[in-house]
Chain A
Amino acid sequence: MTLHDPDPLLLAGVPLTSRFLLGSAGYPSPQMLRQAITAAGSEVVTVALRRQLAAAGQDNGFIDIVRASGVRLLPNTAGCRTAREAITLAHMARELFEIDWIKLEVVGDEHTLQPDMFELVDAATQLIKDGFEVFPYCTDDLVGCQRLLDAGCRMLMPWGAPIGSGQGLLNPWALRTLRARLPEVTLIVDAGLGTPSHAAQAMELGFDAVLLNSAIAHATDPEGMAMAFRLAIEGGRRGWCAGLLAPQAMAVASTPISGRPFEI
């Protein structure tokens, strides 16, 4: 059952009932990917491009499953290290997938796969001129994020932790700062989440959505994990909307103080 969200996500002008964007990589089988997409309730699924390997250049089984699921595709530029590479790959993705949405990835460090904010800004500037809707996979650096917005991005996708690491939100302060300083911007935590509680935490920080892949694809039961994340995301969102209790340094009695039985 999906909880009714009184404020559905508007992503690049497209209304979505799900706040769970799903990656399609690394599943044991196309069938498990299909089950995970259904269990997650995702309406947006990421895809990628790689050098053509099959002699005939035909789609593989995973892509067939994603296309058949009826979800909106979000191609990425994974593997790019410069703005120029990412711009070229984005144009190739637009032609193949027939969509102008692009998850812009430009990696600046091979060990952490940390996004290169400088190259991202350059690439985003050009791609937006070229008519793309740019979803930048970025760090949680506030000023860098502001530059991406200045370039014309309508949403930001800061990392929670390095891709595939499963470490959760390594810097909640930075993410909370982004939410506070950019209240009108669509913010999506992308990468590094390992458990459903990480996703709930992101939503409780006021983020608009979550994008994840490895934690589901590499689970023993991807379908079950997709459902677990879905419930966590919905719970976290509902909690944020309902108004979370602000932490206090000391105890605050919940039972009324006046009229205590043994008070003298």
Chain B
Amino acid sequence: MTKPLTVMLNETPHTLAADTTLAELLAHAGIVPTAVATAIDGEFVPRVARDKRVLKSGEHVICVQAIEGG
């Protein structure tokens, strides 16, 4: 049995099955995929690449949404 992985999503830990993709993480967290942009360990991951981007244990996923700003 493959060991589960733990990643940080906006600094909150998530334990997932091995080979979970970024797209699957967003679904697991209940996030509307078109409402956010994502980065892993400081590198932008485009929306179209999320379902092929397999997560690795210890990675930090940042997920941002639009807000008002100056």
- Per-residue contact bits, chain A 46-68, to B (CB 8 Å; 1 contact, 0 not): 11111111111111101100100
Contact B69 A52 (CB under 8 A): no
B63 on the A face (CB < 8 A): yes
Return the contact of A88 from the options B32, B43, B70 (Cβ within 8 A): B43
Shortest Cβ distance from A215 into chain B, in angstroms? 11
How many Å lie between the Cα of A227 and that of B29 in the bound state? 43
Q: Is A229 an interface residue (CB 8 A)?
A: no
A97 at the binding interface (Cβ < 8 Å) = yes
Verify B69–A57 contact, CB threshold 8 A. no
Tell me, yes or no, whether B5 is within 8 Å of chain A by CB. no
Chain A contact residues, majority secondary structure: mixed
- Indicate which residue in B32, B36, B44, B68 contacts A48 across the interface (CB closer than 8 Å): B68
A-contact 0/1 string along B13-54, CB 8 Å cutoff: 000000000000000011111011111001110110000000
Which residue of the partner chain, among A33, A49, A57, A76, contacts B31 with CB atoms under 8 Å? Answer: A57
**A9 in the interface, Cβ–Cβ < 8 Å?**
no
A64 shortest CB reach to chain B, Å: 10
Most chain B beta-carbon contacts within 10 A, residue among A23, A24, A92: A92
Chain A residues within 8 Å of B63, by CB: 51-52, 57
Chain B interface size, as a band, is 20 to 34
Given contacts A92-B37, A92-B39, contact A33 B65 (CB under 8 A): no
* C-alpha spacing A66/B69, complex, angstroms: 11
Chain B residues in 8 Å Cβ range of A104: none
Taking a contact as CB atoms under 8 Å apart, the answer to whether B68 and A63 are in contact is yes
A214 to B31, CA, bound (A): 31
Query: How close is B44's CB to chain A, nearest CB, in angstroms?
Result: 4
**Nearest neighbor of B29 in chain A, beta-carbon distance:** A55
Q: In the complex where A52-B63, A55-B30, A88-B39 touch, is A95 in contact with B46 (Cβ < 8 A)?
A: yes
Q: Which single member of B33, B47, B65 contacts A49 (CB below 8 Å)? A: B65
- Asked if residues B46 and A25 are in contact (CB atoms below 8 Å), the reply is no
Q: Which residues of A contact B32 (CB under 8 A)?
A: 56-58
By the criterion CB–CB under 8 Å, are A59 and B70 in contact?
no
Pick the contact of A46 from B37, B65, B70 — CB < 8 Å? Answer: B70
Verify if A135 is at the interface (C-beta below 8 Å from B): no
